[in-house]
């Protein structure tokens, strides 16, 4: 499809009347944003602001004796908003009796009681916990016969119009810019209809469905036109994976290739995002191009590395003209000639590189990222899933072991939902055959495995795995993790399987972390008394396992920070196979040789259940080892392009401070 920019006079006039132009007046900062965008420190703070706005609207309508008509969204983004509304209902007396709600979409064909249905999602997240009358909430019916769909979609939209239209529409945004399920190519005047889902949308949902092959190909969605007809629209976006599409929707042209850009035409719309989702906006990525900035060390490092990358010039080759031509003349005015700035940033980057992630014994550590003492450290690596340790920091893991540190790995969850059914069946068959082959009489074990086998043979895609099946799948992941530890060179007694309770639901939807989860982490830290802790720091999804696992670690660290041994403990954050820290954020970069890269790959291969058709592949078709290698190589190439030493690959870390 060739790109067609939609720019009717109404959109241009609306953008002008909203004060959304891209140039500022004299003395005012330039703005590139055509949609009002509020940036919050994190998704919790943002969700509270949105929930409060919805609650205030409900109460105002109650005072006026009117219904409050809400358009609601599903997916990960609004979960915390709904949780806060539920709390307001329980603790603050917020009533939903005057609320009428209409959901944006539903998969087709989809039974309402399926664990994948949006009917079930909304009941579990909101409706079952508040006093909204059952007859007051509406969701598209994913079971309507195909012959009746057109009339059904028209009637669904007519119901909205019959109650006076939507007072408030809550939206998320897809990685391709879809709102509702209005995929790229949807027109601005589109109405409620059946739509074929884009491959990227289905791939992004594959985690929830246990694999791409289970994700429906079609869905019913409210159209763009009725969304734009809502009197108020708020769009939510969390995490760096949404950063690019947010920038394009907010700063780019109105185009059907990014349906969220149509919201530039709305008279009362706000994008509510966290700092990660805002990271590509001009005022965040290059704030010096928008307004005057405080040139502290972090800002200087960010600006100089960005300039070097943009111009494709090593840092030490940047000249005054490069600064002046790219909005950084005030930096020169403040600090003088660019040479001093260049060398300062270059040295800072050079000092992040170390082949001694545990510290180099008997060395001057003034400019090293880690302390020299103690020479032999106790190290605790937290791995949210049973393979995150080797995928995300396998080279560093190996270095720490080879350099004589006492390394422990804490596998926070069982990872059982990421094991395919056929892999579990293969394992079950082996155990039964093993017992029979060696004349081992274990009727209880045989019954357990046979029951699990029978369940898997007859299970439906919409069913949750039985406890026996989850146990089998967890044992598979545990065995693979032990194999990796042996391969790297630590005894399995230093592999700690925490099986945190929040994870053990049998579905992608997890429970919130509780006291038991935090206590498990706290007790392990107390037991090991580490000098170093490594933890996953990729928080793209606030409800994802990595973020929840970090929340438990952070809570445990806050409880333990007053203890004497914690004064000697440094915490390093790594990221997964999908993204890396920005270059100006990196505080430790551990280089790898070609042989070390190959050894890391072999360690990842120990996780056989996650290879060749992993359940949660997502929209990235590469296997985990490929993602990790390309990411590590990319980090090394970035250091090289900035003028530093050239390595085969690098793993990067940021220090988290209490």
The catalytic position among 33, 106, 157, 183 is 183
Cβ-based neighbours of 170, under 8 Å, separated by 6 or more: 50, 54, 70, 71, 72, 73, 78, 81, 234, 236
Structural domain spans, the chain: 37-283, 293-352, 378-421+460-656
pLDDT, tens only, 88-130: 999 999 999 999 999 999 999 999 988 889 999 999 999 999 9
Each residue of 2-29: pLDDT tens digit? 333 333 333 323 333 333 444 444 445 5
Res 4: pLDDT: 36
**CB of 179 within 8 A of CB of 222?**
no
> CB atoms < 10 A from the CB of 472, how many?
25
Pick the more confident residue, 507 or 416: 416
pLDDT of residue 429: 83
Give backbone dihedrals phi and psi of 152, rounded to 5 degrees, phi first. -65, -45
pLDDT, residue 77, reads 93
Share of the chain above pLDDT 90, in %: 75
In angstroms, the CA 589 to CA 633 distance is 12
Nearest to 654 by CA among 584, 600, 565: 584
Over range 215-238, report the average pLDDT: 97
Average pLDDT taken over every residue of the chain: 90
The residue ranking higher by pLDDT, 440 or 537, is 537
How far apart are alpha carbons 373 and 362 in whole angstroms?
8
Q: Is 378-421+460-656 the same fold as 37-283?
A: yes
Query: Hey, which residues does 570 pair with through a beta bridge?
Result: 532
| Assigned token pair, 33 | 């944003």
Question: For residue 186, is pLDDT > 60?
Answer: yes
Cα gap 615→507, rounded to integer Å:
13
Give pLDDT, residue 392.
Answer: 95
What integer is the mean pLDDT of 53-68?
A: 98
Q: Give the residue with greater pLDDT, 426 vs 463.
A: 426
Query: Mean pLDDT over residues 387-402, rounded?
Result: 97
φ, ψ of residue 221 in degrees (nearest 5): -135, 145
Cα–Cα separations (whole angstroms), residue 302 to 30, 295, 299, 320, 649: 20, 10, 5, 17, 22
Give the up-direction half-sphere exposure of residue 20: CA atoms within 13 A in the CB hemisphere: 25
In angstroms, the first-to-last Cα distance of the chain is 51
Q: Half-sphere exposure of 524 toward its Cβ, with a 13 Å CA cutoff?
A: 26
Name the residue with higher pLDDT: 658 or 506.
658
Share of the chain above pLDDT 70, in %: 91
C-alpha angle 66-68-71 in degrees, rounded to nearest 5: 155
Q: Is 359 left (phi over 0), alpha (psi -120 to 50) or beta?
A: left
> Taking 90 as the threshold, does the pLDDT of residue 442 lie above it?
no
Q: Picking from 223-232, 344-353, 385-394, 413-422, which range would have the lowest pLDDT averaged per residue?
A: 413-422
Q: How many CB atoms lie within 10 A of CB 2?
A: 4
Q: What is the pLDDT of residues 461-483, one digit of tens each?
A: 556 788 888 888 999 999 999 99
Angle at 473 between CA 415 and CA 419, to 5 degrees: 65
527-540 tens-digit pLDDT = 999 999 999 998 76
Q: What is the DSSP letter of 578?
A: S
Given pLDDT bands bounded at 50, 70 and 90, which one contains residue 444?
A: confident
**What is residue 211's predicted lDDT score, i.e. its pLDDT?**
75
Domain 37-283 fold: Rossmann fold (3.40.50)
Q: What is the pLDDT of residues 574-631, one digit of tens each?
A: 996 667 899 999 999 999 999 999 999 999 999 998 886 554 445 566 788 888 999 9
183 is catalytic: yes
82: Cβ contacts below 8 Å, ≥ 6 apart: 125, 126
**What is 378-421+460-656's CATH number?**
3.40.50.10320
């Amino acid at each position: 499809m060739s790109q067609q920019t939609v720019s009717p006079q109404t959109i241009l006039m609306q953008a002008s009347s909203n004060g959304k132009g891209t140039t500022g007046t004299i003395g005012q900062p330039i703005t590139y944003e055509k949609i009002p965008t509020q940036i919050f420190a994190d998704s919790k703070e943002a969700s509270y602001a949105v929930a409060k706005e919805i609650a205030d609207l409900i109460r105002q309508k109650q005072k006026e004796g009117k219904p409050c008509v809400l358009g609601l969204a599903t997916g990960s983004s609004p979960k915390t908003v709904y949780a806060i509304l539920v709390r307001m209902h329980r603790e603050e007396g917020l009533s939903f009796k005057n609320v009428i709600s209409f959901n944006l979409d539903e998969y087709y064909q989809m039974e309402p009681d399926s664990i994948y249905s949006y009917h079930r999602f909304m009941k579990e997240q909101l409706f079952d916990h508040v006093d909204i009358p059952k007859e007051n909430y509406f969701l598209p019916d994913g079971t309507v016969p195909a012959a009746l769909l057109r009339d059904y979609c028209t009637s669904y939209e007519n119901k909205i119009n019959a109650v006076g239209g939507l007072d408030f529409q809550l939206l998320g945004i897809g990685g391709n810019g879809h709102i509702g399920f209005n995929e790229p190519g949807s027109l601005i005047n589109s109405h409620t209809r059946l739509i074929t889902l884009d491959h990227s949308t289905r791939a992004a949902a594959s985690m929830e469905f246990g694999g791409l092959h289970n994700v429906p190909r079609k869905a019913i969605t409210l159209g763009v036109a009725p969304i734009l007809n809502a009197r108020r629209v708020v769009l939510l976006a969390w995490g760096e994976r949404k950063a690019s599409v947010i920038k394009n929707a907010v700063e780019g042209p109105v185009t059907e290739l990014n349906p969220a850009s149509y919201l530039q035409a709305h008279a009362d719309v706000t994008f509510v995002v966290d700092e990660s989702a805002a990271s590509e906006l001009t005022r965040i990525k290059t704030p010096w191009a928008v307004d005057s900035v405080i040139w502290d060390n972090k800002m200087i490092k960010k600006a100089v590395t960005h300039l070097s990358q943009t111009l494709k010039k090593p840092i030490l080759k940047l000249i005054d003209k490069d600064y002046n031509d790219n909005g950084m003349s005030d930096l020169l005015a403040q600090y003088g000639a660019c040479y001093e700035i260049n060398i300062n940033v270059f040295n800072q980057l050079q000092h992040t590189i170390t082949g001694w992630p545990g510290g180099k014994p008997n060395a001057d550590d003034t400019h090293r990222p880690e302390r020299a003492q103690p020479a032999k450290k106790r190290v605790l690596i937290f791995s949210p899933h049973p393979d995150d340790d080797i995928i995300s920091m396998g080279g560093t893991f190996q270095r720490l072991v080879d350099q004589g540190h006492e390394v422990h790995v804490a596998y926070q969850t069982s990872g059982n939902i990421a094991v395919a059914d056929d892999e579990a069946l293969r394992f079950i068959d082996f155990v039964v055959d093993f017992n029979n082959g060696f004349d081992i009489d274990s009727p209880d074990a045989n019954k357990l495995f046979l029951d699990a086998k029978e369940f898997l043979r007859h299970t439906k895609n919409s069913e949750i795995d039985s406890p026996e099946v989850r146990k089998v799948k967890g044992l598979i992941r545990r065995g693979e993790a032990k194999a990796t530890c042996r391969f790297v060179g630590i005894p399995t007694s230093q592999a700690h399987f925490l099986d945190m309770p929040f994870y053990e639901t049998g579905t992608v939807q997890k429970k919130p972390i509780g006291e038991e989860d935090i206590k498990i982490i706290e007790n392990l830290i107390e037991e090991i008394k580490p000098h170093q802790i490594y933890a996953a720091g990729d928080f793209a999804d606030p409800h994802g396992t990595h973020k929840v696992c970090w929340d438990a670690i952070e809570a445990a660290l806050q409880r333990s920070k007053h203890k004497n041994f914690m004064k000697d403990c440094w915490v390093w954050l790594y990221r997964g196979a999908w993204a890396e820290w920005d270059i100006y954020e990196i505080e430790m970069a551990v280089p790898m040789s070609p042989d070390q890269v190959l050894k890391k790959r072999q360690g990842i291969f120990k996780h056989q259940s996650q290879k060749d058709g992993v359940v949660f592949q997502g929209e990235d078709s590469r296997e985990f080892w490929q993602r990790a290698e390309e990411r590590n190589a990319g980090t090394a190439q970035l250091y090289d392009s900035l003028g530093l030493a050239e390595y085969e690959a690098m793993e990067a870390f940021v220090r988290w401070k209490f």
